[in-house]
Structure 1
Amino acid sequence: MSTLSPVAETARLEAATETLAEYIGYLNCEIDAEQEKVGPNPERVTALERELDIVLGERRALTPSNRDIINRALYIYAPVLKRMHGGTP
């Protein structure tokens, strides 16, 4: 049971949604960039595609009550994206 207010719960859901969308965009860009190389690394493409499938599934399954996905987006994916943008987690 959550002790957060409805406003806080909504903010967490919105932040998780935006984080997942940004991570999906990042993965798509990485796949495209790898495939455009003269000698693309098929293992990297496969790994990125698997990660993309996982994150797309999480995005489709995201609901206000799915705390596991919200927490993964906020505590796993968001710090990775923040580091990529030059910030510190």
Structure 2
Amino acid sequence: MNTPLSPIAETARLETATETLAEYIGYLTSEIFAEEDKAEPNTGRIEALEHEREIVVDERHAITPDNIALINRALYVYAPRLKLMHG
């Protein structure tokens, strides 16, 4: 059973999710640039990263306080990925 969150907690979750999406977009962008700067860029990797970035940018634009599924995706899927990268 999920206990309703206070408005402050809901706002904090939304802000954290939004920041997570923005950071992940930044990471993907830097990976694209790094690949493009190589002497022999891997076009397949660039295309995959660009596709992932498009998905996350769309999610960033779609995030609202009511979109709990998207907030949860940012917090429970993307945030752990970023945490691993920061090691």
Partner of 1:39: 40
Distance in 1 of aligned mates of 2:67 and 2:5: 14
Distance 2:3 2:77 in 1: 20
Q: 1:18-57 counterparts in 2 under 5 A?
A: 18-57=19-58
- The amino acid across from 1:20 in the alignment is L
Report the TM-score, using the length of structure 1 for normalisation: 0.94
Unpaired segments of 5 or more residues in structure 1? none
**Percent identity between the aligned chains?**
65
State the superposition RMSD in angstroms.
1.2
Per-residue deviation, residues 1-30 of structure 1 (Å, max 9, x unmatched)? 971110110000000011000000000000
TM-score of the aligned structures, taking structure 2 as reference length:
0.96
Number of equivalences: 86
